[in-house]
Structures are given as structure tokens and as C-alpha cells.
Amino acid sequence: MHDRAIYAQVAALHIASIDRGFLPQLGPRFLTLLYEAMDADPRSILIVEVEQGKVAGFVSGGVGLKHVYRALLGRLPSVVWSLLPALLSPRKIFRIAEILLHARSEEAPDLPAAELFSIAVAPFARGTGCAQKLYLALCRHFRDQGILSFKIVVGRDLGPAHAFYRKMGAEPVSEVEIHADQASTIYVQQNRD
């Protein structure tokens, strides 16, 4: 487990680096709670690379987010407070519902249950191999858990992300729409030595 300052830095890096997704619109307080819950859940992991007290990058993954969301419900007052600005927007409420419904829906039987949730590297650490190091650490974690493949959902128009996952050996296998207006590609990474 990390401390709250690390979760806050991870949330800030998520917002700065993964700015096309919906989660950054929910704000740093919510993302701080989300990453804290993810780190505490035994079915998920948050791996953080820290250099001189600053988060250089992070990767998160696990076997579904429904347990993480359930843990967040145990902190409902904090979650509601963190989401207060979003709860004033009907569009954001609808998108939150889409995420929760996607988390509860059954996965396609031909896709792995394990997933890379998010990965980001701070500008000062880009080009240093930090992203590869984090990705390989997640692969090792999954292998240690007996997980021999995992999926990655990538927005269709995120060219650099597609290039990175292909370079790491992930294969595109299908497409999905989590939000009605955003198509994503699903990659599968075989995770054998």
C-alpha cells in the first residue's frame, strides 16, 4: 500500500496523461479514492515508479473493477463529496452509469478476465523505458498470480498507445463501445515466459 500523497500524484498524472478518457472528468479527488481502493483490493494492483519523491509513472490492473467499485461504496460519503461537481451534470451521471453497467456486465468468454486498467508516465520520465518497465512489472505480477493473458482496452484514436501495446506484443482481437460515442480496440497480451 502506498500513502495518500502517492495516490494524489497518481490521480494528477492520470488526469494529465490520460486526458481523453471519461475518468479525468470526475476530478482528482475521485481518482485519488479510486486508486487507493484499487491498491487495497486483493484482485487488483497499482504499481508506481517514484523518482526523487515524484511519481514517474504507474500501471494498474486486475481482474475486474466491480470489487473496487464495491469498496468505494463503503466510503460513500467521501465518494459523493468527490463526485459532487459531476453529479450536477446529467451527461456525467449517464456516463458513470455506463461505466458501472460495463463493470457488472459479463465479459465475452473468449477474452481474459484480467485487464490492464491504466498506464501513464510523467513527461520527465518519458523516453527512459519507464513505460516498458511498468508494463513488464504488471506482466510479472499477473504471471505470479497464474494469469497467462490479459486484455487492454484502448480508444480507437489513441495512436501512440496502439503502437506501444503492439511493440510490447499485444494483439488486437476485437472492438467494443463502452460509451455510445467512443469505440475502443481490445488487445490481448499473452503472458507466458
CB 156 within 8 A of CB 183: yes
CATH value at residue 107: 3.40.630.30
Q: Which of 59, 53, 64 is nearest to 100 (CA)?
A: 64
Q: Which of 53, 46, 51 is nearest to 11 (CA)?
A: 46
Backbone angles phi, psi at 139, to 5 degrees: -55, -45
pLDDT surpasses 70 at 91: no
pLDDT surpasses 90 at 69: no
The model's pLDDT over 138-184, given as tens digits with 9 standing for 90+, comes to 999 999 999 999 999 998 888 899 999 999 999 999 988 765 567 88
CA distance 45 to 143: 13
pLDDT surpasses 70 at 55: yes
Q: What is the predicted pLDDT for the residue at 19? A: 74
Question: What is the mean pLDDT of the segment spanning 132-142?
Answer: 97
Mean pLDDT lowest among 3-7, 54-58, 99-103: 99-103
Strand partners, 172: 187
Residue 109 lies in domain: 4-190
Q: What is the predicted pLDDT for the residue at 98? A: 56
Q: What is the predicted pLDDT for the residue at 12? A: 95
Q: What is the predicted pLDDT for the residue at 183? A: 83
The total domain count for the chain is: 1
What single DSSP character describes residue 12? H
Backbone angles phi, psi at 41, to 5 degrees: -80, 130
Q: What is the predicted pLDDT for the residue at 104? A: 47
Question: What is the mean pLDDT of the segment spanning 10-25?
Answer: 84
Q: What is the number of other CB atoms lying within 10 angstroms of the CB of residue 175?
A: 11
Spell out the residues 6+ positions from residue 81 whose beta carbon is closer than 8 angstroms to its own: 29
Spell out the residues 6+ positions from residue 18 whose beta carbon is closer than 8 angstroms to its own: 24, 118, 120
Question: Residue 67 burial by CB count (10 A; 0-12/13-18/19+): exposed, middle or buried?
Answer: middle
CA distance 188 to 167: 13
Q: What is the predicted pLDDT for the residue at 181? A: 65
What percent of the chain lies above the pLDDT cut of 70?
A: 80
Q: In one letter, which amino acid is 165?
A: Y
- Averaged confidence pLDDT in the chain: 85
The model's pLDDT over 98-131, given as tens digits with 9 standing for 90+, comes to 555 555 444 566 899 999 999 999 999 999 999 9
139: cell is: 506482466
